[in-house]
């Protein structure tokens, strides 16, 4: 393990609003109910090409880190988009089309009807739009192409050309604007209002809460799979996951609380210091927006505004928040690429912050103790994307990503 894990500053805050109760409170379950999650899990399992993504057991890295086990959930092979986001944006598009085509046709329309494209003419009259750093937009574009509607995607000035081309390949129109991610969100909303389009966002705000619930419900597929894949009766003691606007963290926290109760693991949310809106919100005791002045290499996490619904779920359910700079990202990507004697794990720059934070904690005693880690800790890490921009991946690792898919194995 590179010595950089010893020296890079990683900030940590213990959430004073964390609730230890075994029973998930009603206000959390009202945002993302077990029924909503179960519907998403049933439907997505019917999508063409569905298969659970691999769960890698990182034995050598666990020994080096001083924990009992590390399991890495590899979302880099999730459908065509190669990211966990495929579970959220595309599913929200499907739900939107079910509702809108039902309204237009005056008929009862099912998710199966949308999946099987039984109303192609009506679907073709509908336009969905969103803003993205890359992966959510790719999911929305993929879903729009799969279900037969038009799609317009807004990107900010720092989104790579490779990610834009990937969305265009699904048939989306990509519009680049000046400003940061949050500026692109506001522009997408303004244009959608003017043109009668439908915003499909992974972040919620006052007056816009229905579709983000479906996005989060889709993300629970990943958590359900992971719990089923972990061998034996032992559950993880810790889960490291990425922050962003909070949708993933909220979905994971709510689902684990509902399913596991007092057996739920300790959740650690990791963000780039340039866009640590969740860290700052917990520190302030209220939602805080961060003005992003410099983009992080962790492009998918470069969000300055916390999702309203996500905040309602995260505040009582996540114990720890970590903020760090970009220096640990490339070394962690290389570490996974070199693992396994020729069977690398291809992890994009927004996939590895959780693992990077764990490895830093293994070398920094203060952080190790603050996170309650020890030699018996069983850690689940959510590897949320593959090489979603092969050029950036190559630059950061010196490795050609090639085919992303690798079988689940012990490494």
Active site residues: 85, 133
Q: Which contiguous run of DSSP H or E holds residue 176? A: strand 173-176
Distances (CA, A) of 37 to 7, 12, 263: 41, 31, 19
- Which burial class, exposed, middle or buried, applies to 96 when counting CB atoms under 10 A from its CB (0-12, 13-18, 19+)? buried
- For every residue of 234-282, DSSP letters joined together read PPPSEEEEE-TTSHHHHHHHHHHHHHHGGGPPEEEEEEEGGG-HHHHHH
Backbone phi, psi, residue 120, to 5° = -60, -40
Compute the Cα dihedral for 328, 331, 335, 336 and give only its sign.
positive
Q: How far apart are CA 301 and CA 366, in angstroms?
A: 25
Tokens of 269: 């949310």
Distance CA 272, CA 57 (A): 26
- As a whole number of angstroms, the distance between CA 234 and CA 269 comes to 22
How many other C-beta atoms lie within 10 A of the C-beta of residue 75?
27
């Amino acid at each position: 393990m590179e010595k950089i894990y010893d020296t890079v500053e990683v900030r940590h805050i213990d959430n004073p609003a964390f609730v230890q109760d075994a029973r998930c409170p009603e206000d959390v379950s009202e945002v993302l109910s077990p029924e909503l999650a179960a519907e998403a899990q049933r439907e997505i399992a019917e999508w063409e090409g569905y298969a659970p993504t691999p769960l890698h057991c990182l034995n050598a890295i666990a020994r080096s880190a001083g924990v009992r086990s590390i399991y890495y959930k590899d979302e880099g092979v999730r459908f065509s988009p190669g990211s966990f986001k495929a579970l959220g944006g595309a599913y929200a598009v499907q739900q939107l089309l079910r509702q809108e085509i039902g309204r237009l046709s005056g008929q009862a329309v099912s998710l199966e009807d949308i999946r099987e494209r039984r109303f192609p003419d009506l679907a073709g009259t509908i336009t969905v739009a969103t803003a993205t750093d890359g992966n959510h937009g790719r999911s929305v574009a993929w879903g729009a192409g799969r279900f037969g509607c038009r799609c317009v995607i807004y990107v900010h000035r720092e989104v790579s050309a490779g990610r834009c081309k990937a969305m265009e390949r699904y048939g989306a129109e990509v519009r680049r604007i000046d400003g940061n991610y949050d500026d692109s969100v506001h522009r997408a909303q303004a244009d959608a209002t003017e043109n009668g389009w439908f915003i499909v966002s992974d972040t919620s705000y006052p007056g816009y809460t229905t579709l983000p619930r479906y996005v989060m419900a889709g993300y629970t597929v990943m958590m359900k799979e992971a719990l089923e894949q972990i061998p034996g009766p032992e559950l993880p003691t810790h889960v490291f996951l990425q922050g962003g606007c909070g949708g993933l963290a909220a979905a994971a926290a709510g689902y684990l609380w509902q399913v596991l109760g007092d057996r739920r693991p300790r959740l650690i949310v990791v963000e780039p210091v340039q866009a640590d809106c969740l860290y700052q919100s917990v520190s302030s005791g209220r939602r805080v927006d961060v003005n992003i002045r410099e983009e992080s290499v962790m492009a998918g996490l470069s969000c300055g505004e916390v999702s309203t619904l996500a905040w309602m779920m995260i505040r009582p359910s996540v114990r720890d928040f970590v903020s760090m700079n970009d220096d640990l990202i490339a070394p962690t990507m290389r570490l996974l690429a070199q693992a396994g004697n020729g069977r690398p794990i291809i992890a994009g720059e927004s996939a590895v912050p959780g693992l990077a934070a764990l490895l830093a904690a293994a070398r920094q005693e203060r952080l190790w103790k603050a996170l309650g880690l020890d030699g018996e800790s069983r850690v689940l890490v959510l590897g949320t994307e593959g090489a979603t921009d092969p050029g950036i991946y190559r630059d950061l690792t010196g490795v050609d990503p090639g085919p992303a898919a690798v079988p689940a194995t012990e490494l």
